[in-house]
Amino acid sequence: MSYDFNKIEDKWQKYWAEQKTFQATNPPLEGELEGIALPKFYVLDMFPYPSGAGLHVGHPLGYIASDIYARYKRHKGFNVLHPMGYDSFGLPAEQYAIQTGQHPADTTKVNIEGGVDKEGKKIKGYRKQLDRMGFSFDWSRELRTSDPKCYKWTQWIFIQLFNSWYNKDSDKAEDIEALISIFSSDGNAGVNAVCDDDIPEFSATIWKQFSNKEQQEILLKYRLTYLAETEVNWCPDLGTVLANDEIVNGVSERGGHPVTRKKMTQWSMRITAYAQRLLDGLKTVDWPQPLKDTQANWIGRSEGATAEFKVLPLAPSEGGGTSRNSRITGDSSIIGILLERAKEMRKKPTKAEAKLWEGLRDKKTGLKFRRQHPIYKYIPDFVCLEKRLIIEIDGEIHQYQLDEDAERQLILEEKKGYHFLRFTNEQVLNDIDAVIDEISNKLKVLPSGEDLGGDFSNEEDIGDIDAVFVETQRNIENSGIPPSGARGISVFTTRPDTIFGVSFMVLAPEHELVSQITTPEQKTEVEAYVEATAKRSERERMADVKTISGAFTGAYAEHPFTKEPIPIWIGDYVLAGYGTGAVMSVPCGDQRDYDFAKYFKIPIPNIFEGIDISEEAFSDKDKTIITNSDFLNGLPYKKAVKRAIFELEKLGQGEGKINYRLRDAVFSRQRYWGEPFPVYYDADGMPQMLDKKFLPLELPEVDKYLPTETGDPPLGNAKAWYWLQYGDKGKVVTKEKFESSSPSGRLGGDLELNTMPGWAGSSQYFNRYMDPHNDDEIFSQEAINYWQDVDLYIGGSEHATGHLLYSRFWQKFMFDKGLVPKDEYAKKLINQGMITGTSAFVYRTFYFYGYAHDNNAKEGVLDFIRERPILISTNHHDLLENDEYVKDFNFINEWFVSELKREFEIDDVGGINFKKTTPLHVDVSLINSSDELDIEAFKNWRPEYKNAIFILDNGERYDSNTSLEGRPAGAFTVSREVEKMSKSKYNVVSPDEICDQYGADSLRLYEMFLGPLEQSKPWNTAGITGVHGFLKKLWKLYHSGSNGEFFVNDSPPSEGLGEDLRTLHKTIKKVEEDIENFSFNTSVSTFMICVNELTAQKCHSREILESLAILVSPYAPHIAEELWQKLGHNESISKVPFPKFEEKYLVESEKEYPISFNGKMRFTMKLSLDLSKEDIEAAVMAHEKTKQQLQGRTPKKVIVVPGKIVNIVG
């Protein structure tokens, strides 16, 4: 009986489906026993996108590996969860919808389930393709992200994120209600949250006075998903924004379209809150190092310091100040103006202010203090309203405005009855206790007044605050004091140790201070530069790193230590989006600063001991010794950094800081085919979440999938896309219906037009698989507590900074909310390598012709030549490359010329130029295993080459004139090259073809046999005969009866020489080790060796062959099931215990010792393993070949490693 793989595989695939063999059981209810004793094991493949192109042999590589592992774990007694589903929202379906008008849901369904789409395209379907390979997926748990039942929970998580904020004190996400109650009791001063950086400080009183809308606006700045105007990567050709990880080299990952920066109001995810935890978590998971590195790189943590550089006032001769746009606009409320001013100042507290605030906040003095709180016409540093005590810290800036300060103190003291205390920076920083004492003493002697907090409704004040505020602004401007730069330019640096090497500062052209500090003299130049950089696209800026450009603002900053003036420049090498958008430039220590300084002839002071910086900057931290740097002199890098930070903090002009490159993730896409947001906008335009009971909010039908005429996303085309709700009843309605509904008790408004990005649906799917049909919760606590996390996750490395980072973020969020027990969801992750294609090429030569011109009669020559392209085989092409062709194959030329002459009767034809060739991709299915082209099939495939002339390997000519009988026998060999597997390269091999021809078991074995799982390797169908031959041999081993009948005998294996048991146990040991180490390629070799040996031993022992069937079953499950059944079993092999390895069968008494001389192996010698070192040495020395090798010499030394080797030196 021969090995009929098609029949066998079909049979068992049906059996598994019918018997639901691989359905995983969730923990049973109490009283039921089955399943509970089994330990769990969760094996997961990354969510595939079901594309219409179907699978090629590269796709299932990871699935085969995970399937082997899952099957192995079942044999090992685990309850294995091994699900599969589809990430079925996505761009390709939508692009196809735009092109053909078909609903993406329809095409997606066909892509998964197979069939014919409306265009008449035949699609096999992912599911059928997967089933054919014999995967042990639990299909009862299938998920499709585009299924409303599935995206219901994506929407639900979105709402959870919206209703959460990140508390830095507890270092986790917390409920937004908790934040609201803090605001109502204490305001936001004591809140340590990850939030937007432009939040004004407010007291509880002010919070309560905010309108609902104002409160909502403020809360948005804290929520973990928030709506904000952000700079996004806009891709006009795709009509959508892209995430950073969707952009490669400045163009879109899909399609390579240009991307520009644009400001848009978008939903964002506050992933930055988790930056540190995402970094820390990497240490706890067993993931590939390159993947971890990529993530760490993406998060981009850098340790350093902030430093504050004061902006110096402009010399009067320079005109002082620039005109600023007045911030006062007609429609802003007065509270708004003052709050804005206050928050702007609070944003940049000086070190001394921050320190004193620590001493005053939270009623530490027994009384409530506020900082930067508007009083009458001014904003003092601190105020205790109850005691009418104002505390001011006089920094350097104060020196420039003594008069104004004196004046306002007078006004406040005399007219408003306030008391003043003034301290200097030094007092606060050096002896905070004394300062606090003085304040406390002062408070004791002052009488109590009423709390005037938020008392802005006083009519009298409102009248003139506006005017006075403007006046104050003007005064500041006229005095030559830099306006909002008064508090200086903040920079982030990882090299605070080089602060004495600063010779200039550079701001990003987009920096908000640029327009404020630029002197009138420099204004034209600066504005021209800013405009020029704004025009350059991100791509241009990135591509053009070499060109140095910038402009001087005319302004100077003050060095915090030397107090020297430092020129302030702008330049586009400083990025607005990183750090503070400004740098302190240390040209001697940073190459970019160095180049900039050289270009603009800025001095380059050297602060490195014994280092020559005349040619380039010196950035080696380890060899650094600082000099010319005051208190840092002589210090090595690390000590200098510490000291510099210490000194900066002492001055109140800086502190140690950790910076991250990671940005918040934009979560809106202007697409149709994605999860709709469960969000409507109320009458105030504020976003509101739908109640859980209304989920899922289903994707509406639209006429077309393009943006609307007004530029809205495709959902803007939906006829009904308004939310209308009264009490417990809500539904999606048309605009008209909404507007005509009764406003009384009505909730609702227009629904969000954006949809969620591709990664939304894949960020918690692994947990949803644990309880996929639960309609009440995302998963039950019983399910998550049983399955816990993914034990083995296999997928491609291309998801490193997308899915794999975002899903970790969501998992940590879910962990914070107590919904999942693990804050990392995948213990072990493997990136399978890519299987590349082996493209085939023929070469087309080009030739010129030259004949007497002006000969119209010869019109047809050109066409004649065009219709006869010459294709040469690869060896001719190689000759060509070596310039050897023309002389060897000149006869082709001669023949062609004679053809021309015959046809057109012309004498002076030039000839063929063989030098110019272009490679042409040939479909790999037209190539046999010896790389020879099927020429007739090629001509059918490419009709434009039906008249082509083929030059065969042996130089013979094959063309359309050659009769079939008289055809040259030579072969036409193509050249092959490894490329990515792709339709356009005609090198795609489909798994279905392989299954037809060799069977799924062969495919599975071969994919594993190709090489290590993680490595990328080329596909070559020819090699599959090796593993296919192995399966036939395996089959034969069980069919050694007459006429190939099934035959095993029941005699105990030990009756023979025991060799078969040795072979078996050697195999068990190796295969077990290999699977545990994910070294699947070597275990296939091991099986081959095993079968070769057992065949040679003529093994028929049932005991041995039963074990072998189990060993093979994870790899080649169909044949294993069939053999298992033939061995007399009625149950599937899939859960039979794995054979137990027993050492005793491998114990040997003898060893074939390699005998080497000076490290070179010369011969081997069989010796007993019982021998002592001395015995071995004696035996070896006595050997004839040893004497021969030594030729009479006496060895200097003899190394004997018992059980290993003997080495004779001398």
Partner RNA sequence: GCUCGAGUGGUGGAAUUGGUAGACACGUUGGACUUAAAAUCCAAUGGACAUUAGUCCGUACGGGUUCAAGUCCCGUCUCGAGUACCA
Looking at beta carbons only, is 248 or 406 nearer to RNA? 248
Question: Taking the complex as a whole, how short is the minimal distance between the CB of residue 275 and RNA, in angstroms?
Answer: 12
Cα–Cα distance measured from residue 419 to residue 417, given in angstroms and rounded to the nearest whole number: 7
Cα–Cα distance measured from residue 184 to residue 203, given in angstroms and rounded to the nearest whole number: 8
Cα–Cα distance measured from residue 238 to residue 627, given in angstroms and rounded to the nearest whole number: 55
Among 17, 402, 467, 1161, binds RNA (CB under 7 A): 1161
Residue 1129 one-letter amino acid: H
Looking at beta carbons only, is 590 or 1103 nearer to RNA? 590
Contact between 92 and 51 (Cβ < 8 Å): yes
Question: Taking the complex as a whole, how short is the minimal distance between the CB of residue 127 and RNA, in angstroms?
Answer: 29
In the chain the first and final C-alpha atoms are separated, in Å, by 61
Residue 203 has a CB neighbour count (10 Å cut-off) of 20
User: Interaction with RNA in 557-576: which residues (CB under 7 A)?
Assistant: 572-575
User: Interaction with RNA in 12-51: which residues (CB under 7 A)?
Assistant: none
1023, 1045, 871, 837: which is closest to 953 by C-alpha?
Answer: 871
Q: Does 1009 bind RNA (CB under 7 A)?
A: yes
User: Interaction with RNA in 928-947: which residues (CB under 7 A)?
Assistant: 929-930
Stretch (H or E) spanning 755: none
User: Interaction with RNA in 482-501: which residues (CB under 7 A)?
Assistant: 492-495
Q: Does 592 bind RNA (CB under 7 A)?
A: yes
Among 773, 1160, 1182, 1194, binds RNA (CB under 7 A): 1160
Among 70, 617, 641, 800, binds RNA (CB under 7 A): 800
Distances (CA, A) of 414 to 403, 410, 419, 455, 458: 16, 6, 9, 19, 19
Question: Taking the complex as a whole, how short is the minimal distance between the CB of residue 700 and RNA, in angstroms?
Answer: 35
Query: Which residues have CB under 8 Å from 902's CB, separation 6+?
Result: none
Pick the piece of the chain touching RNA (CB under 7 A) from 363-371, 562-570, 733-741, 1084-1092: 1084-1092
Between strands 164-167 and 172-175, the pairing is: antiparallel
User: Interaction with RNA in 1125-1154: which residues (CB under 7 A)?
Assistant: 1152, 1154
Contact between 593 and 585 (Cβ < 8 Å): yes
Question: Taking the complex as a whole, how short is the minimal distance between the CB of residue 48 and RNA, in angstroms?
Answer: 19
Q: Does 1040 bind RNA (CB under 7 A)?
A: no
Question: Taking the complex as a whole, how short is the minimal distance between the CB of residue 780 and RNA, in angstroms?
Answer: 37
Q: Does 545 bind RNA (CB under 7 A)?
A: yes
Distances (CA, A) of 1022 to 708, 838, 1192: 53, 11, 54
Q: Does 551 bind RNA (CB under 7 A)?
A: no
Q: Does 149 bind RNA (CB under 7 A)?
A: no
Question: Taking the complex as a whole, how short is the minimal distance between the CB of residue 1125 and RNA, in angstroms?
Answer: 24
Question: Taking the complex as a whole, how short is the minimal distance between the CB of residue 976 and RNA, in angstroms?
Answer: 9
Question: Taking the complex as a whole, how short is the minimal distance between the CB of residue 1199 and RNA, in angstroms?
Answer: 4
Cα–Cα distance measured from residue 36 to residue 783, given in angstroms and rounded to the nearest whole number: 12
User: Interaction with RNA in 962-991: which residues (CB under 7 A)?
Assistant: none
Q: Does 537 bind RNA (CB under 7 A)?
A: no
Q: Does 667 bind RNA (CB under 7 A)?
A: no
Q: Does 1199 bind RNA (CB under 7 A)?
A: yes
Pick the piece of the chain touching RNA (CB under 7 A) from 107-115, 163-171, 878-886, 1196-1204: 1196-1204
Question: Taking the complex as a whole, how short is the minimal distance between the CB of residue 634 and RNA, in angstroms?
Answer: 22
Residue 527 has a CB neighbour count (10 Å cut-off) of 14
Distances (CA, A) of 1118 to 153, 260, 392, 1106, 1110: 37, 53, 83, 15, 11
By rule CB under 7 A, what string of x and - marks binding of each residue 329-368 to RNA? ----------------------------------------
Looking at beta carbons only, is 146 or 1021 nearer to RNA? 1021
User: Interaction with RNA in 218-277: which residues (CB under 7 A)?
Assistant: 244-245, 248
Pick the piece of the chain touching RNA (CB under 7 A) from 91-99, 216-224, 877-885, 1012-1020: 1012-1020
Q: Does 462 bind RNA (CB under 7 A)?
A: no
Helical H segments across 755-816, by residue range = 765-768, 781-787, 803-816
Q: Does 1092 bind RNA (CB under 7 A)?
A: yes
Question: Taking the complex as a whole, how short is the minimal distance between the CB of residue 1035 and RNA, in angstroms?
Answer: 11
780, 782, 788, 777: which is closest to 823 by C-alpha?
Answer: 788
Helix (H, G, I), strand (E, B) or coil at 442: helix
Instruction: For residue 960, count CB atoms less than 10 angstroms from its CB and return exposed for 0-12, middle for 13-18, buried for 19 or more.
Output: middle
Residue 1060 one-letter amino acid: D
Contact between 1165 and 1179 (Cβ < 8 Å): yes
In this structure, is the dihedral angle defined by the CA atoms of residues 472, 473, 475 and 480, taken in order, positive or negative?
positive
Contact between 25 and 34 (Cβ < 8 Å): yes
Q: Does 1089 bind RNA (CB under 7 A)?
A: yes
Question: Taking the complex as a whole, how short is the minimal distance between the CB of residue 483 and RNA, in angstroms?
Answer: 23
Count interface residues toward RNA (CB under 7 A).
86
Q: Does 605 bind RNA (CB under 7 A)?
A: no
Question: Taking the complex as a whole, how short is the minimal distance between the CB of residue 397 and RNA, in angstroms?
Answer: 25
Residue 41 one-letter amino acid: F
User: Interaction with RNA in 466-485: which residues (CB under 7 A)?
Assistant: none
Residue 629 one-letter amino acid: S
Q: Does 1159 bind RNA (CB under 7 A)?
A: yes
Cα–Cα distance measured from residue 684 to residue 214, given in angstroms and rounded to the nearest whole number: 10
Q: Does 289 bind RNA (CB under 7 A)?
A: yes
Question: Taking the complex as a whole, how short is the minimal distance between the CB of residue 792 and RNA, in angstroms?
Answer: 19
Residue 557 has a CB neighbour count (10 Å cut-off) of 26
Contact between 217 and 682 (Cβ < 8 Å): no
Question: Taking the complex as a whole, how short is the minimal distance between the CB of residue 561 and RNA, in angstroms?
Answer: 17
Cα–Cα distance measured from residue 748 to residue 739, given in angstroms and rounded to the nearest whole number: 11
Looking at beta carbons only, is 864 or 1163 nearer to RNA? 1163
Question: Taking the complex as a whole, how short is the minimal distance between the CB of residue 233 and RNA, in angstroms?
Answer: 11
Between strands 687-689 and 193-194, the pairing is: unpaired
Question: Taking the complex as a whole, how short is the minimal distance between the CB of residue 1196 and RNA, in angstroms?
Answer: 9
By rule CB under 7 A, what string of x and - marks binding of each residue 297-336 to RNA? xx-x-x-x--------------------------------
- DSSP code string of 393-404: EE-HHHHHTHHH
Q: Does 997 bind RNA (CB under 7 A)?
A: no
Q: Does 1007 bind RNA (CB under 7 A)?
A: no
Cα–Cα distance measured from residue 894 to residue 1118, given in angstroms and rounded to the nearest whole number: 60
The radius of gyration computed from the CA coordinates of the chain, to the nearest angstrom, equals 39
Looking at beta carbons only, is 851 or 1163 nearer to RNA? 1163
- DSSP code string of 1052-1103: -GGGTTSHHHHHHHHHHHHHHHHHHTT-HHHHHHHHHHHHHHHHHTT--BHH
Among 319, 910, 1029, 1041, binds RNA (CB under 7 A): 1029
User: Interaction with RNA in 174-193: which residues (CB under 7 A)?
Assistant: none
Question: Taking the complex as a whole, how short is the minimal distance between the CB of residue 78 and RNA, in angstroms?
Answer: 25
Question: Taking the complex as a whole, how short is the minimal distance between the CB of residue 205 and RNA, in angstroms?
Answer: 39
Among 708, 1016, 1049, 1097, binds RNA (CB under 7 A): 1016
Q: Does 534 bind RNA (CB under 7 A)?
A: no
For 261, the token pair is 């920066």
What size, in residues, is the chain? 1210
Using CA atoms in the order 856, 861, 862, 868, what is the torsion angle rounded to 10 degrees?
170
Exposure of 1132 in the CB half-sphere (CA atoms within 13 A): 22
Cis geometry, peptide bond prior to residue 560 (ω within 30 degrees of 0): no
Looking at beta carbons only, is 428 or 644 nearer to RNA? 644
Stretch (H or E) spanning 89: none
Q: Does 642 bind RNA (CB under 7 A)?
A: no
Q: Does 1001 bind RNA (CB under 7 A)?
A: no
